[in-house]
Structures are given as C-alpha cells and as structure tokens.
Amino acid sequence: MISRRGFLVGSAAAVTLLAVPACANAPSQSLRPALRPAGGRAASVPAIDALVSKANLGGEVVFACADAETGELLEVRQPQRGLPPASVVKALTAIYALDTLGPAHRFETRLIATGPVQNGILSGDLVLAGGGDPLLDTNALAELAAGLKAAGVREVRGRFLVWGGALPYTRVIDEGQPDHVGYNPAVSGLSLNHNRVHFEWVRNGQGYGVTMDARSDRYRPDVRVARMQVVARDLPVYTYADAQGVDQWTVAQSALGKGGARWLPVRRPDVYAGEVFRTFAGSQGIRLPAEDVARSLPGGSVIVRHQSVPLPEILRDMLRYSTNLTAEMVGLAATQARGGRPTSLAASAGAMNSWASSALGLSAPALVDHSGLGDRSRLAAADMVAALVRARRQGMLPGLLREFPMRDDKGRTAAGHPVKVNAKTGTLNFVSGLAGYMTRDKGKPLAFAIFSADAQRRDSIPRAERERPNGAQGWNRRAKALQQDLLERWGTLYSV
C-alpha cells in the first residue's frame, strides 16, 4: 500500500500523459486520424457511429478508452462532455477515501460511560457513539451489548444517549427519489443495517400480519421507530410521514398479495440503532431507559469498542453491491479528515471535486454527492479514465472492482469470452455508465469510461413513477449492449 504523498506525486506526474488537446472543440470520434492496428483488424469491427445508431438510445453517448499503462487516449467520443455518471462515481469516491484515510483505516463504534462504574452500577449516562461505520449491523450491536455485560455493567442510573454527530445528518441522499426506496436512506454517523428496516407481511384471514424489524442472519429484533399500517386503497402503494419522530408508513392493501418483504429506508438512524441496542442490552439483563439523542458527544470513558473491517474491504463491498449509504459515509469521512466541515452531501462532494482537480488533474468534475444517486452530477469520460489510470499506477483500485461479465448473443454470461473486464456500473432511469479496466487474451490493459444519458426522457418522469418508469428497462438493456459492443471493439483494436 502507498502513502498519500506517494499517490499525489504519482498523480501529478501523470497529468501530461492524460491531457486531451483542444478540449474546447473535442473531436466526436477517435483522436487518431485513422485506425491502423496490425492485421487489418479495423475492417473487421463495426464503426462507432453504427454501434451508437444500433443502440437507439437518444440523448447523448460519450466515452474514452486509453492505454492503462501510459494514459494515451486511443479512442474517444466527446470525452470532455460531462454527463450523469450514476454509480460509476463510487469508483472515484473509493480513490478519494483511500488517498485520504489510508488502507489501514477502521471506523469505530463505542459505548461511553460518563460516570464511574462501581459494583456493576454506572452512576452516569451510557452513550452509544457512532463513528461513521457504514457496515454496522444488528450482529455488531448484539456483540456490543454482550461486551457491556462482560465489562461488569449491570445497571445504568443515568440516561441512555445515542450520538450520530460524527457525520452530518441528512434526511435523504437525493430528494428526487420516491420515499420508500431503500437505497435512499438518511445519512448519519450512527448507521445500522445501511439505515434500512425490514418490512414483512403475511396474509392473515381477511387482513395481514405485519412486522417491522432490524433483522440479520442471527437476530430479528422488532422496532417501533418505524411503523406500518395496511390501508384499503389502490394507489399510492406507499405513503410516508414523520409522526413526532416515528417513521409512519402506510401501504396499499391491493399491492400486497399473499405475502412478501422489502427493506424500507430509515429517517432516524441514531434512534433506530439505540432501540435495537436497548433490546440486546435487555437480553443481557441490563435495563436501559428509552434512548435520547445527544446533540454533542459527551465526555467519559470508553468501556466497549467495535471496530469495522479495514477500509479496502468496506470499499470492495460498496463497489460490489453499489451501496449508496456507504459511498456517502466514506466520502463525508474523507472530507472531514482533510479538515473540511461539510454541512451537506453537496458540500462534501464539492470538496471531492476540488481534490480530484488538484490531486488527479481532472478538468471539470461537478459531482453533487459521493454515490451518484443525484442526477445533477456531471463527469467527463476523459476525467474518469484519467482517475482510473492514476489509481492503477498506485495499486489502489483494480483489486476492488468486481468482474464485469461479457455476454453472448442471447444475453447469457459467456464464460470463455476473450475480453476480461473489471469495472463499476452505474444505472439511473435513462442513465447508464460503465468504467474500469479491460484486456483481451492477456493483451495490453486498457482503461475506459462510457456514459449514456437521455436527460429529456428522465426529466419527464413523474415522481411517483421513478422507481420503474415505462421504457427505462428496455433503454437500459440497449445501453448495456452498446457497452459490450464498445468493449469488444476496443479489445480487438487496442488490447494486443
């Protein structure tokens, strides 16, 4: 692993290799006047315009493909045109976090006693203090409660406080999303189960049995901070209201069928974590009063700690499952570690934009969050490729990106495909991105970024239909087919 200074020095040295000449009038096709690969391969692959026309996406398609070792741009289409990158941004966030926090970084959740513990009695408050761990789960809270008992605490005479102020609170990641989607929860320094609650329903006679819990593979404690009511209606499927600090949901009975389950977002993550911890403390024989939110971190002594896995494991999980909350939390933590005091996700993303420009030499990153969920973010394909090349030189990213499967003519995974890709995907309604590394038959490694977007169609979607709008699924399939066509083209022409 490398130091932050080593990364920045290597990045600065790479800037000239990745510069795109005449950016104000960037060419729409290859920077080279003509393709001249050996063996006449250029004649055997479809032209760029033909591939884009076949995809029939409307809107805009931009891309950049470069030699991953030298940074030389090999083929581009409007490489400086910024489009919404969607979750491809998470790859840039991973570089930002590693460069700032370092690969050995672990997040820590603590139990703090504000007074002395004598004869098993804590004469003071007990504080569940979040440390920005994006993977804190129900099992970890059970372990913390067991640790509290092992530390000799049998009774708490003071209050039970929860503190999530290690990161600024945000009610949702993106205000434009439907209320009920689990990938758009609140952000806080105290997070549990990606700030989602498990809603399950089973038909029971003429009605339904409903549970709201914080389940894991080992436990399923019920919660009251989020509640559900089944209502006799057709639409909307869900409604949400903040009912005096409780997430109050309703669901349309006509949409439930015989039974099912889904994860819903949590808007009070500190209280959610506190309620679940209190349940586990009770199972250890330690009765706690109802949780109260601490506005600032109380002083005291740490009696139990829970450490996260190292940062690279957190980022690998984030990139594999495209977890929005993880991206926002590690991005906020990185900004704060650099001395920033962000009051919003947009402010923290602005700090990452500045870092990317100065440390990586990117031309004009304009991101509004760290996850890519906000469609107002803009990123140029050439900038994303520049970041990928520099990260590869420092060994930061390639080992974290998951394998991207190439497919056959029927859409099935082609196990023996000669093109091998490790990349990050990005998908919003009528927005699709893919960026990463590729080789063909162990040939020259390439770095690439492909962004497609039909902003007009996306902007026309009513808010109530944004989870599954008409036409979006087919558009996404065509965008992914274009991505594969481009990867096969570049493998044939350049990975030799």
Tell me, what CATH number does 294's domain have?
A: 3.50.80.20
* pLDDT value of residue 40: 54
Q: Is the pLDDT of residue 385 over 90?
A: yes
Looking at the structure, tell me whether residues 171 and 61 fall in a common domain: no
Looking at the structure, tell me whether residues 73 and 137 fall in a common domain: no
Report the share of the chain in percent with pLDDT over 70: 91
Looking at the structure, tell me whether residues 153 and 288 fall in a common domain: yes
Q: Which of 6-10, 30-34, 149-153 has the highest mean pLDDT?
A: 149-153
- pLDDT band at residue 32 using 50, 70 and 90 as cut-offs: very low
Domain annotation covers residue 83: yes
Residue with the bigger pLDDT between 25 and 104: it is 104
- Least confident among 107-111, 150-154, 403-407: 403-407
Mean pLDDT over the full length of the chain: 91
Domain annotation covers residue 316: no
pLDDT for 284-297, tens place per residue? 999 999 999 999 99
Domain that holds residue 141: 107-308
Domain annotation covers residue 159: yes
Tell me, what CATH number does 457's domain have?
A: 3.40.710.10
Q: Which of 47-51, 92-96, 404-408, 467-471 has the highest mean pLDDT?
A: 92-96
Please give the biggest Cα pair distance in the chain. 84
* pLDDT value of residue 13: 34
Looking at the structure, tell me whether residues 184 and 62 fall in a common domain: no
Looking at the structure, tell me whether residues 88 and 219 fall in a common domain: no
Domain annotation covers residue 326: no
Out of 285, 308, 331, pick the residue that ends a domain.
Answer: 308
Looking at the structure, tell me whether residues 111 and 88 fall in a common domain: no
* pLDDT value of residue 258: 94
* pLDDT value of residue 408: 78
Which whole number is the average pLDDT over 98-120?
Answer: 97
Which whole number is the average pLDDT over 165-174?
Answer: 97
* pLDDT value of residue 412: 78
Name every residue whose Cβ is closer than 8 Å to that of residue 201 and which is 6 or more positions away in sequence: 208, 209, 210, 211, 228, 230, 251, 256, 259, 260, 261
- Sheet with 419-428, strands from edge to edge, namely 73-77, 60-67, 446-453, 431-440, 419-428, 403-404
Secondary structure (DSSP) of 158-200 = S-EEEE-TTS--BS-S-TTS-TT-TTS--B-SS-SGGGEEEEE
pLDDT for 231-283, tens place per residue? 999 999 999 999 988 999 999 999 999 999 999 999 999 999 999 999 999 99
What total of structural domains would you count in the chain? 2
CA–CA separation, 392 and 446 (whole Å): 11
Which whole number is the average pLDDT over 10-26?
Answer: 33
- Least confident among 169-183, 390-404, 464-478: 464-478
* pLDDT value of residue 415: 79
Write the DSSP symbol of residue 247.
E
CA–CA separation, 376 and 345 (whole Å): 13
End-to-end, the C-alpha distance of the chain in Å comes to 29
Q: Is the pLDDT of residue 181 over 70?
A: yes
Looking at the structure, tell me whether residues 366 and 471 fall in a common domain: yes
Domain annotation covers residue 333: no
Looking at the structure, tell me whether residues 357 and 279 fall in a common domain: no
Out of 308, 333, 353, pick the residue that ends a domain.
Answer: 308
CA–CA separation, 448 and 441 (whole Å): 17
Which whole number is the average pLDDT over 488-494?
Answer: 95
Domain annotation covers residue 334: no
- 196: number of Cβ within 10 Å: 21
CA–CA separation, 450 and 305 (whole Å): 43
- pLDDT band at residue 328 using 50, 70 and 90 as cut-offs: very high
Looking at the structure, tell me whether residues 172 and 304 fall in a common domain: yes
Among 203, 238, 199, 191, which Cα is nearest to 220's? 199
Which whole number is the average pLDDT over 187-199?
Answer: 98
Q: Where are the beta strands (DSSP E) in 205-295?
A: 207-213, 226-231, 238-243, 246-252, 259-265, 292-293
Domain annotation covers residue 304: yes
Which whole number is the average pLDDT over 11-25?
Answer: 33
CA–CA separation, 219 and 213 (whole Å): 9
Coil, strand, or helix at residue 45?
Answer: coil
Looking at the structure, tell me whether residues 285 and 140 fall in a common domain: yes
Q: Is the pLDDT of residue 6 over 60?
A: no
Report the share of the chain in percent with pLDDT over 90: 83
Q: What angle do CA 373, 386, 402 make, to 5 degrees?
A: 55
CA–CA separation, 279 and 271 (whole Å): 12
Contact 163, 270 (CB under 8 A): yes
Name every residue whose Cβ is closer than 8 Å to that of residue 225 and which is 6 or more positions away in sequence: 197, 245, 246, 247, 266, 268, 271, 272, 275
Name every residue whose Cβ is closer than 8 Å to that of residue 277 and which is 6 or more positions away in sequence: 128, 141, 144, 145, 291
Task: With both helix axes pointing from N to C terminus, report the angle between 269-283 and 138-150 in degrees, rounded to the nearest 10.
Answer: 50
Q: Is the pLDDT of residue 490 over 50?
A: yes
CA–CA separation, 113 and 136 (whole Å): 21
* pLDDT value of residue 256: 95
Looking at the structure, tell me whether residues 64 and 95 fall in a common domain: yes
Which helix (H) or strand (E) segment is 462 a member of?
Answer: none
Domain annotation covers residue 328: no
Q: Is the pLDDT of residue 18 over 70?
A: no
Contact 285, 154 (CB under 8 A): yes
* pLDDT value of residue 416: 84
Q: Is the pLDDT of residue 38 over 60?
A: no
- 464: number of Cβ within 10 Å: 11
Looking at the structure, tell me whether residues 413 and 478 fall in a common domain: yes
Which whole number is the average pLDDT over 405-425?
Answer: 87
